[in-house]
Homo-oligomer: A and B are copies of this chain.
Amino acid sequence: MAKKATKGKMTYYFGKNTEGRGVAKAILGGKGANLAEMTGIGLPVPPGFTITTEVCKAYYDLGGKLPPDLMAEVKSQIGKLEKELGKSFGDSKDPLLVSVRSGAAVSMPGMMDTVLNLGLTDESVQGLAEGTNNERFAYDAYRRLINMYGDVVMGIDHHEFEAAFTKIKKKYKAAYDTDVPAEGLKELCDEYKKVYKRSTKKDFPQDPMEQLELAVEAVFKSWNTPRAIKYREIEGIRGLLGTAVNVQSMVYGNMGDDSATGVMFTRDNTTGNNSLHGDFLVNAQGEDVVAGIRETQHIEEIGQWNKAIEKQLKDIKKTLETHYTDMQDVEFTIERGKLFMLQTRTGKRTGAAAVKIACDMVREKLIDEKTALLRIPAKDLTQLLLPNFDPASKKTATLLTTGLNASPGAAVGKLAFTAAEAESRSAAGEKVILVRHETSPEDVNGMWAAQGILTSTGGRTSHAAVVAVGWGKCCVAGAKEISINEKARTITVNGKTLTHNDTISLDGTTGEVMLGDVETIHPELGGDFGKVMKWADKYRKLGIRTNADTPADSQRARDFGAEGIGLCRTEHMFFEGERIVAVREMILSETEPERRKALKKLLPIQRKDFVGIFTAMQGLPVTVRLLDPPLHEFVPHEEAAQKELADHMGVTLQVVKDRVSQLHESNPMLGHRGCRLSITYPEILEMQVQAIVEAAILCHKKKVKTKPEIMIPLVGTFKELKLLREKVEETIASTIAAKKFEGKLDILIGTMIEIPRAALTADEVAEHADFFSFGTNDLTQMTFGYSRDDTGSFLPDYLRKDILHVDPFESLDQTGVGQLVEMGVTKGRSAKPDLKVGICGEHGGDPSSIDFCHRVGLNYVSCSPFRVPIARLAAAQAALRNA
């Protein structure tokens, strides 16, 4: 659909004779492309033009210089604009004024800088006053220009402007900005120009084209500010040329009480309800809405103010949704009763809203179910699965106040007052809620780190709300009753004062702010969610299993739709309660008979665990991984605990200490663990296999079907697997014989592929395996040579410097590690065509990794219970995308 850009063309006009319709978003940016599109479908859009993202790239390629011919082309576009509007740039009568905004191919809310009212000078401000017959308005526009321009283009500290404004307000005894008369604003413009000169050593530019040139450059510069880079990092946005610049004629929402400005979603972006959602402000500029400084009105109330506008907005909603077949996020301004659309883009939404909107649009026949599936960002399903507050616990909680339900979810944490504090305390392991008057782009790192966000001002479309919804993070905004003392690190609300050590609970779905740690419960699933899951199951090719070590987890995963357990780690079972004592006895044993004695105590416990898990899974496959971690993880490292163990075992403390120090390893990740343990201590393997088989027999007697799969970890050579497989088979046979069991047990024996060498020699390994399961956590560690425990010292730097696009432990490195996975599958199946192959690393729940797993032909992915729905959806999307 997207046209190619016209070669050499740097700007595209929209208005009369729109040039840019259908040109790729990559070139025009999202905002620019949509402005051209809206103009094209006949919506009222103030005309203007877009400077392409290619120019931004050229700017950086030239070492931070605008291409030489750019301004000539810009000048010609300004000429067109002057002609269409019958105004002229810098005119002393009725000057053409423009806004300059950034707009990359991908929306980055609040990240890029904007300049409004550009074109005003000492001379043209008078023309504006005349033209509008409103001197106050003209000087208000001018002071805003000098302020924004000084701040954004010239980098002047905005506190300097604020200080000047405060002085003027005092002088005129004005409570609000709007109380300052024209006289005062005129004076303020002079003060602002002084601030400007003091900081820049230059006068505020009086040539509109000079203003424009510097503003364009400022937008390009803002593409590479640390906060913009950080945002792209968090969102995994890459491959963009840069940002486009949109130069658009100004319209004003602050021309009186018949003017307004607003931001609106065509459906509720938090719940998905099919009703307009958003805020508007009468007699205000757009920035006032987004910044959340003034209290906004809900869009539902706009009819009370202007019935015709309400109807027009509803019509436009329909036009847009029919055109884009998706929910839109629009900005609009009403200038003296006339509506102008300033922007449209696909609206960010919560996971719940994504599900509901997709299902509704299928019902409305706007889209089909495949499109609906592809519309829902799989990872956002997490939000639907996350716990809500337990109503019972809420009933007894102290409600502090109620703010706006800006982004749903339940968050509990201690109070943090700055982004930096939220970051550092989170890094130290604390759960915190970031509390701010309002948030700004500088706060994103802290917002990311916090459990939830609470602001005392700002609405549903404020910075805090928009960013939080994008991330699926709980946010309560505009909780006006809260008074924040950032310096003292306290908040006061309805007579209560809380410090940074107090815990609060935020309900982003209701806007409630509660004292203390309110308990959470799991959500009920069904309805549209169930429908999406059903669609997903219809299209996906991958099986979905779960990683679960307890009957409770197994049950939860089944509830979420898991078709089996892909990884049941037995070591977690070793830590609970009394068992650890027997485990330690086993480890401290000096001889095999002693070890066997200790293992005998563990046998019934392990058997019981397996009976529980098998029963929960009701005949679905359960892949049990034999003991994996190095033994030193099980022994106590503190002297007191060592002494206790020594006493219990009747040996001296020194004996325990010696064994613990003997078990110490320089690089435990690459040490005596996994199948290496079973080679050295086959009796551990024997006990575990015996427990599995006995559990299966017990289940069989109770008519519970079982399908155990025994998985041998950390195999690097086929001989390890061959030897241990024989040992497992012997133990199965001897256990069946000892129990005189006459039924049929269907037990597979396979291995994890997590050592690079196992993937490289997968053909040899497959000869002895019924199945492979890729352990991509360890495979990633060894393929990169990264210890997960130690990457803290360099991985953040690697992400920052774009050496790595994403943390390879979160999303599978398809270029490197992926090669080994593919090799493992291909070689493995070359030796054994019907080899069952899955993945049980944490990548099994990551949508982009699931796409990869689909493409290389795995049989299933396995992930944590909560990610099972994500995996089901992502698997369907992979099947549809790669069809």
Complex Cα gap A783–B817 (Å): 12
Question: Once the chains bind, are A783 and B785 in contact (CB under 8 Å)?
Answer: no
Complex Cα gap A787–B781 (Å): 13
Question: Once the chains bind, are B667 and A816 in contact (CB under 8 Å)?
Answer: no
Complex Cα gap A778–B803 (Å): 22
* Cross-interface CB contact of A786 among B670, B719, B786, B789, cutoff 8 Å: B670
Complex Cα gap A248–B667 (Å): 57
- Chain B: CB-nearest residue to A815: B761
Are A784 and B803 CB-contacts (below 8 A) given A666-B789, A672-B790, A794-B672?
A: no
Q: Decide yes or no whether A397 CB sits under 8 A from chain B.
A: no
* Cross-interface CB contact of A784 among B757, B785, B786, B789, cutoff 8 Å: B757
Question: Once the chains bind, are A801 and B679 in contact (CB under 8 Å)?
Answer: yes
Question: Once the chains bind, are B793 and A680 in contact (CB under 8 Å)?
Answer: yes
Question: Once the chains bind, are A790 and B757 in contact (CB under 8 Å)?
Answer: no
- Chain B: CB-nearest residue to A665: B790
CB of A668, distance to nearest CB on chain B (Å)? 7
Q: Decide yes or no whether A450 CB sits under 8 A from chain B.
A: no
Question: Once the chains bind, are B783 and A671 in contact (CB under 8 Å)?
Answer: no
Complex Cα gap A761–B803 (Å): 14
Q: Decide yes or no whether A804 CB sits under 8 A from chain B.
A: yes
Question: Once the chains bind, are B784 and A716 in contact (CB under 8 Å)?
Answer: yes
- Chain B: CB-nearest residue to A663: B793
In the complex, which residues of chain B have a beta carbon less than 8 angstroms from the beta carbon of A665? Answer: 787, 789-790, 793
A residues 761-803 near B (Cβ < 8 Å) are: 761, 764, 778, 781-787, 789-790, 793-794, 797-798, 801-803
In the complex, which residues of chain B have a beta carbon less than 8 angstroms from the beta carbon of A668? Answer: 666-667, 790
* Cross-interface CB contact of A787 among B667, B757, B761, B801, cutoff 8 Å: B667
Q: List 6 A-B contacts (CB under 8 A).
A: A665-B790, A666-B669, A669-B669, A717-B804, A761-B816, A761-B819
Question: Once the chains bind, are B785 and A755 in contact (CB under 8 Å)?
Answer: yes
* Cross-interface CB contact of A666 among B714, B716, B755, B787, cutoff 8 Å: B787
In the complex, which residues of chain B have a beta carbon less than 8 angstroms from the beta carbon of A345? Answer: none
Question: Once the chains bind, are B790 and A666 in contact (CB under 8 Å)?
Answer: yes
CB of A413, distance to nearest CB on chain B (Å)? 26
Q: Decide yes or no whether A820 CB sits under 8 A from chain B.
A: yes
* Cross-interface CB contact of A781 among B670, B714, B720, B797, cutoff 8 Å: B670
Question: Once the chains bind, are B798 and A679 in contact (CB under 8 Å)?
Answer: yes
Q: Decide yes or no whether A676 CB sits under 8 A from chain B.
A: yes
Q: Decide yes or no whether A723 CB sits under 8 A from chain B.
A: yes
Question: Once the chains bind, are A794 and B755 in contact (CB under 8 Å)?
Answer: no
- Chain B: CB-nearest residue to A786: B670
With A665-B787, A756-B756 known, 13 other A-B pairs at CB within 8 A are A665-B789, A669-B787, A670-B670, A670-B781, A671-B787, A671-B793, A679-B794, A679-B803, A714-B785, A716-B786, A717-B803, A719-B801, A756-B783
Which 5 residue pairs across A and B have the least CB separation, nearest first?
A670-B787, A667-B787, A757-B816, A666-B789, A671-B790
- Chain B: CB-nearest residue to A789: B666
Complex Cα gap A597–B804 (Å): 31
- Chain B: CB-nearest residue to A719: B803
Q: Decide yes or no whether A760 CB sits under 8 A from chain B.
A: yes
A residues 670-724 near B (Cβ < 8 Å) are: 670-672, 676, 679-680, 714, 716-717, 719-720, 723
Complex Cα gap A786–B789 (Å): 17
In the complex, which residues of chain B have a beta carbon less than 8 angstroms from the beta carbon of A784? Answer: 716, 755, 757
Question: Once the chains bind, are B757 and A817 in contact (CB under 8 Å)?
Answer: yes
Complex Cα gap A790–B714 (Å): 15
In the complex, which residues of chain B have a beta carbon less than 8 angstroms from the beta carbon of A679? Answer: 794, 797-798, 801, 803
Complex Cα gap A665–B790 (Å): 6
* Cross-interface CB contact of A667 among B670, B720, B797, cutoff 8 Å: B670
Complex Cα gap A802–B793 (Å): 40
In the complex, which residues of chain B have a beta carbon less than 8 angstroms from the beta carbon of A761? Answer: 815-816, 819
CB of A765, distance to nearest CB on chain B (Å)? 11
In the complex, which residues of chain B have a beta carbon less than 8 angstroms from the beta carbon of A754? Answer: 785
CB of A26, distance to nearest CB on chain B (Å)? 23
In the complex, which residues of chain B have a beta carbon less than 8 angstroms from the beta carbon of A787? Answer: 665-667, 669-671
- Chain B: CB-nearest residue to A721: B803
Question: Once the chains bind, are A816 and B760 in contact (CB under 8 Å)?
Answer: yes
CB of A295, distance to nearest CB on chain B (Å)? 46
Q: Binary interface profile of A, 420-461, with partner B (CB < 8 Å = 1, else 0)?
A: 000000000000000000000000000000000000000000
Question: Once the chains bind, are B720 and A803 in contact (CB under 8 Å)?
Answer: yes
A680, A716, A785, A787: most-surrounded residue (chain B CB, <10 A): A785
A residues 810-848 near B (Cβ < 8 Å) are: 813, 815-817, 819-820
CB of A700, distance to nearest CB on chain B (Å)? 34
Are A785 and B672 CB-contacts (below 8 A) given A757-B816, A794-B680, A803-B719?
A: no
In the complex, which residues of chain B have a beta carbon less than 8 angstroms from the beta carbon of A757? Answer: 783-785, 813, 816-817
CB of A757, distance to nearest CB on chain B (Å)? 4
CB of A670, distance to nearest CB on chain B (Å)? 4
Complex Cα gap A666–B790 (Å): 7
Complex Cα gap A817–B717 (Å): 12
Complex Cα gap A114–B802 (Å): 70
Question: Once the chains bind, are B672 and A819 in contact (CB under 8 Å)?
Answer: no
Q: Binary interface profile of A, 143-165, with partner B (CB < 8 Å = 1, else 0)?
A: 00000000000000000000000
Complex Cα gap A816–B680 (Å): 23
Q: Binary interface profile of A, 505-549, with partner B (CB < 8 Å = 1, else 0)?
A: 000000000000000000000000000000000000000000000
